[in-house]
Amino acid sequence: MDSLTSLTSFVRTAETLSFVQAARLLGISASAVGKNVARLEHKLGIRLFNRSTRNVSLTAEGAAFLTRCQSILEQIQEAESELTSSLSQPTGKLRISLPVIGYRLLLPALTAFSRLYPQR
């Protein structure tokens, strides 16, 4: 997951053109964002950003890499959303053991529940 962290730091920095803003979005320090990006650059063997004391801009290689990384992160987010949405719906058998009076009180709620969630 270290690569994923580095990619996320890179994408947020590229979108905001600021290590500080990226850090705020990610909830980590600007130093951590800078180190994540530096690790990624070292791993790739290429500079992704042109840095000065007051300015951050993407290199040509960084701009090309950004497009691919945004797509990858979007696909990961979609996969996570699909998985969590399928888990948020109740499924399976519901077994209840109640005295007769309980059935009379609970039956209307069970009918409404089964209409809301018809899957087995």
Residues 78/84/85/87 CA torsion (nearest 10 deg): 150
Which residue carries 């109740």 as its tokens? Answer: 90
| Tens of pLDDT, residues 20-39 | 999 999 999 999 999 999 99
**pLDDT level of residue 44 (50, 70, 90 thresholds):** very high
pLDDT in tens, 53-106: 889 999 999 999 999 999 999 999 999 988 887 666 677 777 778 787 777 788
Q: Tokens for 61, please give them.
A: 């290689």
Q: Indicate whether 83 and 103 sit together in one domain.
A: no
Checking if the pLDDT of 11 tops 80, the result is yes
Look at residue 39 in the predicted model and tell me its pLDDT.
96
Spatial contact of 49 and 59, defined as CB atoms under 8 Å apart: yes
Same domain, yes or no, for 117 and 99? yes
pLDDT at 1 over 60: no
Same domain, 6 and 33: yes
pLDDT at residue 120, as a whole number: 60
Residue 15 shares a structural domain with residue 53? yes
Range of the domain at 114: 93-120
Separation of alpha carbons 25 and 19, rounded Å: 10
* pLDDT(118) > 80: no
Through-space distance between the first and last CA atoms of the chain, rounded to whole angstroms:
35
At 110, the amino acid letter reads L
The reply to whether the predicted model has a pTM over 0.75 is no
Asked if 18 and 60 sit in the same domain, the reply is: yes
Cα diameter, the chain: 77
